[in-house]
Chain A
Amino acid sequence: MPDAVALYRTIRLIRRFEERAIELVRSGDIVGGVHPYLGQEAIATGVCAALRPDDVITSTHRGHGHVLAKGADPARMMAELAGRVTGLNRGRGGSMHAADFSLGILGANAIVGAAGAIACGAAWAGMLAGSDRVAVTFFGDGAVNQGVLLEAMNLAALRRLPVLFVCENNGYATTMPTAGAVAGTITGRAAAFGIPASTVDGMDVSVVLDAAREAVERARAGAGPTMLECLTYRFDAHHTFEHRVRLRYRDDADVAAGRSRDPMQIQGARLDPDERTRIDVAVETVLDEAVRFALASDHPDPAGALDHLYASGLRARPGVA
């Protein structure tokens, strides 16, 4: 199990990866922008630290943190965001669809709520195969009103699937405050299906890790799904387009309160300062290399856009006969 240093290192990696990615959005190297995970790093880090390499996760539109915490190569991830052929998905997925099946990363997912059912299927497959693999599905507070997520919870409870439903409640779905969209409570939805649920501090990685470990153990033991609602705050924009178009949906007091507890500082304070500096430097080296690798990689050949549509090799029809 990872120690305090490893947990800090992952949080730091995600934090700086996101900041570097935002720079590449500004410079035009990442087209289409990103949904930064800044402020929520302790959740991906803590939950993935409770997993084995053969466990699987599904992620969200705000997915870089999950993908990195599950072990994806930061350089290939950065190349994916930049749309290069060396990316995790040869540049075809981009920020919202990065996947690495070899690491159990079944993909970020741009359709809010959709991945819950996918995680159920993966968990089910593990169960059918007689393994004790666990599946985690990350989702936001906005997803809890999607029917498919409720369908997934029902199925998971019914079949006692080894699934962790991890809700990252960052207070907003784009501009919609959670209270304005969620009737009842988020954990109450799980309770309705008889799924044990708890609300934890998503800013403290050790709290997240403890809760995740317990849930993973339950799942491995065949006791079925668990929901964790992790309270957190999104430090930056919903999406980088907000850097250009200022939206006023969070007032200054709200932002100040939300940012007052920083998962990186909370975990960093538990380390010896010299050690912390050493990690910071090492992470920076990794990210320098990731950015260099991404920007040095080739762009895909536009003619390839008609390829890889079918496993059978059938090519897409061009627009004209």
Chain B
Amino acid sequence: METVTIGKALNLGLRRALEDDPKVILMGEDIGRLGGVFRITDGLQKDFGDDRVIDTPLAESGIVGTAVGLCLRGYRPVLEIQFDGFVYPAYDQIVSQVAKMHYRSRGLPIVIRIPFGGGIGAVEHHSESPEAYFSHTAGLKVVVCANPNDAYWMIQQAIASDDPIIFFEPKRRYWEKGPVDTDAEPYPLHAARVARPGTDATVVAYGPMVRTALDAATAAAEEGRELEVIDLRSISPLDMAPVYESVRKTGRLVVVHEAPSNVGVGAEIAARVTEQCFYSLEAPVLRVCGFNVPYPAARVEEDFLPDLDRVLDAVDRSFGW
């Protein structure tokens, strides 16, 4: 058991994937010599060579398209998109090529890593949460890690998967430390997990908002309310069984994500819970999300991002229903 940051855990996971399978290659802007702007690939080019850890031109569409061809000839490319907001030039390739290939021909074992979300005081295009765009697209799988152990294992599981995976990394949590068990049997990739058990209300979150939800649960406990926090981990496919089970127990659900609420992941969860747990619900499913505007300037981002107070406020509203 080691204690490392999420960033380091990803680095260790990538290293192990490179060691385990010679067909794994890493591609992206500045990932080699620099080790990536967030240093997630630090040292990997030095150890595995510039044929396997490749600094590409600044051309996201070309990078993803090239990776499709590499996949079709037996490689397992792992791509880094430098920041969430730069995936859009590649959106066409991802949606039109990557997502549709298996349905009519054969699968693409491609992983597209995207550091996402806000909270680091960055400029526009560097703090977005585009997971719903990809989750909406059949043929893609979308996962989000929230702690070092998951970061270490989920990146390896994603690389080993024969399906294309959009792998979201909570960039503002890159520096948070936690234990990594490199020997334990990993938890399944596309499964949600109870991050903190509770009995009074359910809070569902993923990625950077898991920490926020856990902090809210700690605060709520001081006031005598036990929140059950579920880390979704996989956005597509969604693993709803633990959510249904929890809601049938608590009768109350708050969904938290940084992305705007409009037609987002929270709406899908609310709809499914309404379909499956209607008679268990004591209150409507409530959402705590980013506002439905472009990601705002850094100086006001704290007002935009869901935080502990907004989560607790939603829990109060659920109880006050």
Contacts and interface: CB of A to CB of B under 8 A. Distances in A.
Contacts of A89: 104-105
Contacts of A317: 237
A154 B163 CA distance: 29
A43 interface: no
Contacts of A126: 73
A148 B105 contact: no
Interface residues of A, number: 46
Contact of B69 (A99, A121, A158, A309): A121
B65 A101 contact: no
Given A93-B105, A118-B97, A312-B161, A106 B69 contact: yes
A114 B97 contact: yes
B191 interface: no
A318 to B, nearest CB: 12
A176 to B, nearest CB: 20
Nearest to A111: B96
B9 to A, nearest CB: 24
**B interface residue count range (under 10 / 10 to 19 / 20 to 34 / 35 or more):** 35 or more
Q: Is the interface of B mostly helix, strand, loop or mixed?
A: helix
B69 A118 contact: yes
Contacts of A101: 72, 105-106
Interface in A76-134: 89-90, 92-93, 97, 99, 101, 106-107, 109-111, 114-126, 128-129
B50 to A, nearest CB: 11
A152 interface: yes
Q: Which of A123, A124, A129 has the most CB of B within 10 A?
A: A124
B107 A310 contact: yes
B86 to A, nearest CB: 14
Interface in B268-290: 271-272, 275-276
A308 interface: yes
B72 A155 contact: no
A122 B57 CA distance: 17
B195 interface: no
B72 A106 contact: yes
Given A154-B57, A311-B162, 8 more contacts: A56-B73, A58-B69, A106-B72, A107-B105, A110-B96, A125-B69, A152-B62, A311-B109
18 contacts: A56-B73, A114-B65, A121-B65, A121-B69, A122-B72, A125-B69, A125-B73, A147-B89, A148-B65, A152-B62, A154-B59, A155-B56, A155-B62, A308-B102, A310-B107, A310-B141, A311-B107, A312-B161
